[in-house]
Structure 1
Amino acid sequence: MAQIVRTEDEGDPRLDDFRDLSTADRRPDRPGGRGLVIAEGTVVVRRLLASAYPPRALLGVERRIDELAPDLADVPVPAYVTSAEVMAEVVGFHLNRGVLAVADRAPQPDADEILARSRVVAVLEGVGDHENIGALFRNAAALGVDGVLLGAGCADPLYRRSVRVSMGNVLRVPFAALTPWPSGLERVRAAGFRVAALTPRADARTLREVAADGGRTALLLGSEGPGLTAEALDSADVAVRIPMSEGVDSLNVATAAAVAFYELAAAVN
């Protein structure tokens, strides 16, 4: 079980995994950094503890650590208990959720492994906003998407903000890089998927029409604002749109993805 360790020393070196999370060049989850995964709040920490990501330690106020006691029964890591004030000094900001956990990264499947066991996948291009990435993963987990493939220009799904916004679902939905880009889409097609590019173009087929065709589908989604590049659109098998009311031509990428995930997953279930 977890070892409960009480400390009121903000300089305690055992807390270094949690230190200065608001300082960009020192963050342990930043690209090129130590590669740690950080979970915030009891719900997300529980999902991390139940995932394949090996936990290293927890840090929290006593009430939150007590709430997690059943989840920590078989987890042999230190759980550091301190005050909210000391925790804020260590982390660099006041954490309303009252508990953090850090873990090492787990081995990820490659794109071909994900495709082999999937019916609906999301393929992202240029989705560089961590909150959008997190929301996409949360929607994917909720609406029956089997995996996510990351093309060029995508943010790291395991960045702290992405993990938080996803409510820990980036730890449950398998993902992999799809390279090279966009010619890697040929791997998706060779695995038996139809590549459907989501776009507001008026000449695109409607989402419901494409979903009704059935079959394995890879939904291609572009960045907020510019959307998919011309090269990615040209590499798709079909352009698909969500019909909208007059005067509205687009949705936030995570919202649009949720609508499309629902329609596509329902068609194969």
Structure 2
Amino acid sequence: MIAEGVLVVQRMLASRFHPHALLGTDRRLTELKDDLAGSAVPFYRTSADVMARVVGFHLNRGVLAAARRVGEPSVAEVIAGARTVAVLEGVNDHENLGSIFRNAAGLGVDAVVFGSGCADPLYRRAVRVSMGHALLVPYARATCWPAELMTLKENGFRLLAMTRTSRRARWPRR
């Protein structure tokens, strides 16, 4: 997984995802000096031109961090103690998903649950657009979709839905 930019790298350093290396320009690595103090994460300095050639694009914001993925929690784990949960189905665009995470963090959403057809929240573009919040807001993938919606109801959550179609499913009131 890749984090781009000082703020996103700072959020990665504060998350459960631990970078195994950073590549950046002098200016951007200097901005991260305090964040990297005492850290064992190796960092490599380079020029903006060399960095663009190495990573394959110029819009890299001057610093990149690479981290390995770690196991994802279950739906039960991410909703435990949560008051507000965003449930997503079919959000297959990485930038849209990143934007949802950014807004979820801003609105105080405690967790995100993915249903079927959702993009990867740890894809580079999703992490960048989320400003790193995809690394901080807890999330889980529902393995039994849509049955796990009932798990939310059974745990006291009220289900509200938005859709662009005139078709809708009615959930029985309990």
TM range (shorter): over 0.9
Partner Cα distance (1:152, 1:159) in 2 = 17
Partner Cα distance (1:228, 1:58) in 2 = 44
TM-aligned CA distance change 1:145 to 1:229, over 3 Å: farther
Residues 1:164 and 2:99 are matched in the alignment: no
TM-score by length of 1: 0.61
Partner Cα distance (1:133, 1:66) in 2 = 31
Q: Match for 1:52 among 13, 16, 38?
A: 16
Confirm or deny: 8 A CA contact 2:85 2:111 kept in the other structure. Answer: yes
Q: Percent identity?
A: 58
Partner Cα distance (2:60, 2:147) in 1 = 44
- Report the more deviating stretch, 101-110 or 76-85: 101-110
Shift of 1:101: 0.5
Query: Secondary structure of the residue that 1:176 maps to in structure 2?
Result: strand
Q: For residue 144 of structure 1, what is the amino acid of its counterpart?
A: G
Partner of 1:143: 107
Query: Secondary structure of the residue that 2:161 maps to in structure 1?
Result: strand
Provide the alpha-carbon RMSD of the alignment.
Answer: 1.8
Confirm or deny: 8 A CA contact 1:118 1:146 kept in the other structure. Answer: yes
Matches within 5 A, 1:220-259: 227=164, 230=167, 233-234=168-169, 236=171
Q: Compare CA radii of gyration and give the structure with the larger one.
A: 1
Could you report, residue by residue, the CA deviation over 1:150-200 in whole angstroms, capped at 9, with x for unpaired residues?
00000010000000000000111000011211122111111111111124x
Residues 1:186 and 2:150 are matched in the alignment: yes
Could you report, residue by residue, the CA deviation over 1:43-92 in whole angstroms, capped at 9, with x for unpaired residues?
11111111110111000111111111110012202101011111111101
TM-score by length of 2: 0.93
Partner Cα distance (1:97, 1:78) in 2 = 19
Aligned length: 173
TM-aligned CA distance change 1:90 to 1:96, over 3 Å: closer
- Report the more deviating stretch, 160-169 or 43-52: 43-52
Query: Secondary structure of the residue that 1:59 maps to in structure 2?
Result: strand
TM-aligned CA distance change 1:121 to 1:187, over 3 Å: same
Higher-RCO chain (CA-CA 8 Å, sequence separation at least 6): 2
Q: Match for 2:89 among 125, 128, 151?
A: 125
Confirm or deny: 8 A CA contact 1:194 1:237 kept in the other structure. Answer: no
Could you report, residue by residue, the CA deviation over 1:87-114 in whole angstroms, capped at 9, with x for unpaired residues?
1111011135111001112333210112
Confirm or deny: 8 A CA contact 1:182 1:235 kept in the other structure. Answer: no
Confirm or deny: 8 A CA contact 1:195 1:237 kept in the other structure. Answer: no
Query: Secondary structure of the residue that 1:102 maps to in structure 2?
Result: strand
Partner of 2:119: 155
Partner Cα distance (2:119, 2:3) in 1 = 17
Residues 1:62 and 2:62 are matched in the alignment: no
- Unpaired segments of 5 or more residues in structure 1? 1-36, 200-226, 239-269
Partner Cα distance (2:125, 2:41) in 1 = 24
Q: For residue 108 of structure 1, what is the amino acid of its counterpart?
A: E
